[in-house]
Amino acid sequence: MVKYAVHVAGREVEVAFDPRRPGCAWIDGVAVAADCQQVGSQPVFSLLVDGRAYELVVQDVPGEGLRIGVGGALYDVAVEDERARELARLAGRRGEAGGETPVKAPMPGLVVSVAVSPGDEVAAHQRLLILEAMKMENELRAPRAGRVRAVHVGPGEKVEQGRLLVVLD
């Protein structure tokens, strides 16, 4: 049995195949009959799962996993195999750090201005900086009260989505 833990839309789905039963799979422990066909040589797949028909489009996002579109929606998906998952479990819950709060760019954009400096005390919802994206100026505010530990960007800088902007203590 091959097992994968798939992270999709904020939850984890366990998918398993049995090498001895081709065309069968288990989704969160429920057995399904599945037929998967790639359409032409396009990254488009037709899945029949217990007779239900689905059409999915797939894109690789390097370093991030897969982006899968179905029924008008698009999901960012990460797949772990069983062993990797076991290791992660032993190492404790993933990705949760201590008392500091990173503020990351929620979208790519241009930093128009920065309203705080390292050492500043900020209140919750106080403006940290302004990010221009798609011709709109977006105010980024402090998610909680705290002290600014570091500011990683300056005005005029272009930032990618997820870029660390400010760290609050």
Location of structure tokens 């396009």: 42
Residue (72 or 95) nearer to other proteins, CB? 72
Interaction of residue 102 with other proteins, rule CB under 8 A: no
Contact mark string toward other proteins, 75..94, x via CB under 8 A: x-x-x-x-------------
Location of structure tokens 């902007």: 165
Interaction of residue 13 with other proteins, rule CB under 8 A: yes
Of residues 31, 87, 107, 124, which one binds other proteins by CB under 8 A? 107
Of the candidate spans 83-91, 92-100, 106-114, 145-153, the one that interacts with other proteins by CB under 8 A turns out to be: 106-114
Location of structure tokens 């705080």: 116
Q: Least distance (Å) from other proteins to the CB of residue 99?
A: 25
| Residues contacting other proteins: total by CB under 8 A | 76
Of the candidate spans 88-96, 116-124, 131-139, 147-155, the one that interacts with other proteins by CB under 8 A turns out to be: 131-139
Of residues 137, 143, 144, 162, which one binds other proteins by CB under 8 A? 137
Residue 92: left if φ>0, alpha if ψ -120 to 50, beta else—which one?
A: left
Location of structure tokens 């570091």: 150
Q: What is the distance between the alpha carbons of residues 33 and 77, in angstroms, rounded to a whole number?
A: 22
Contact mark string toward other proteins, 35..74, x via CB under 8 A: xxxxxxxxxxxxxxx-xxxxxxxxx-x---xxxxxxxxxx
Show Cβ contacts of residue 76 under 8 Å, excluding neighbours closer than 6 positions: 8, 61, 64, 65, 66, 67
- State both tokens at 1: 């049995």
DSSP letters of 25-55? EEETTEEEEEEEEE-TTSSEEEEEETTEEEE
